[in-house]
Amino acid sequence: MNTLESSALIIVDLQIDFCPGGSLAVNGGHEIVSGINDLISKRSVLFKKIILTADWHPVNHISFASTHNLEPFARKVVGGDIVTLWPDHCVEGLKGSEFHPDLQVEKSDLIIRKGRKSNLDSYSAFFENDRVTPTGLKGYLTDHSIQKVYLSGLAFDWCVYFSAMDSTKLGFETYVIKDLTRSIDLPAGYALEKEIEMKRAGVKIIDSSYF
């Protein structure tokens, strides 16, 4: 099978709340939109499928600091795990949950909404944070004979990281297009740690010049 027939582009959480001006803004989040649109415009020679994910939470979601009467970015033990609590973000149907207005959304094949259950978060595009509840993405990719997964979007050190780690564990040849991502990087150096972990797990870190 040629590369085109076995490749998918996944664009993680490129939503208003993760871009400057949004409630959980990632530095420079908006800067990656045009580069991602360039790849989308080349889909006929690069990708068989284009998949968008959207963080999509109900109000009072368990990942919101406000739900626990704590400050954003506080850490707390929830269900036995120490988790980071976030500002309210990507609340289902609100403006901040929309994709960046310039993203060529209409060219995508599938949109996966994740983090929809009040009491469970979902960083990865493949599994919710209980690590066992599937989003259905694996089935979609295997049904379409995808072997190579190319990841872009926000944030590099959170949802892109978890998606890449699951992707490689599931046996997909996994690439992160680093210049088409941006990091939260809190505390400073966190994103570098995640990059090292990804590389160790077999994820290839590339730039868009690769294509």
Catalytic residues: 13, 114, 159
Strand (E) positions, the chain? Answer: 7-12, 49-55, 75-78, 81-84, 110-114, 148-154, 173-182, 204-206
For residues 131 and 13, give the distance between their C-alpha atoms in angstroms, rounded to a whole number. 19
Rounded to the nearest 5 degrees, what angle is found at the Cα of 96, between the Cα atoms of 64 and 52?
A: 95
Partner from Zn ion, ligand VGL, none binding residue 158, C-beta < 5-8 Å depending on class: ligand VGL
Query: Considering the complex, what minimum distance in angstroms separates the CB of residue 157 from ligand VGL?
Result: 8
Per-residue interface string for the shown chain with ligand VGL, residues 22-61, x marking contact by CB under 6 A: ---------------------------------x------
């990087």: which residue's tokens?
Answer: 185
């990804």: which residue's tokens?
Answer: 198
Give whichever of 55 and 128 is closer to ligand VGL, judged by the CB atom.
55
Give contact residues for Zn ion (rule: CB under 5 A): 55, 115
Give whichever of 46 and 120 is closer to ligand VGL, judged by the CB atom.
120
For residues 14 and 161, give the distance between their C-alpha atoms in angstroms, rounded to a whole number. 15
Candidate residues 154, 164, 180, 198; the one interacting with ligand VGL per rule CB under 6 A: 154
Per the CB < 8 A criterion, the answer to whether 184 and 39 are in contact is no
* The two structure tokens encoding residue 140: 């979609």
Per-residue interface string for the shown chain with ligand VGL, residues 77-96, x marking contact by CB under 6 A: ---------x----------
Number of residues counted as binding ligand VGL (CB under 6 A): 7
Interface residues with ligand VGL (CB under 6 A) are 13, 55, 86, 154-155, 158-159
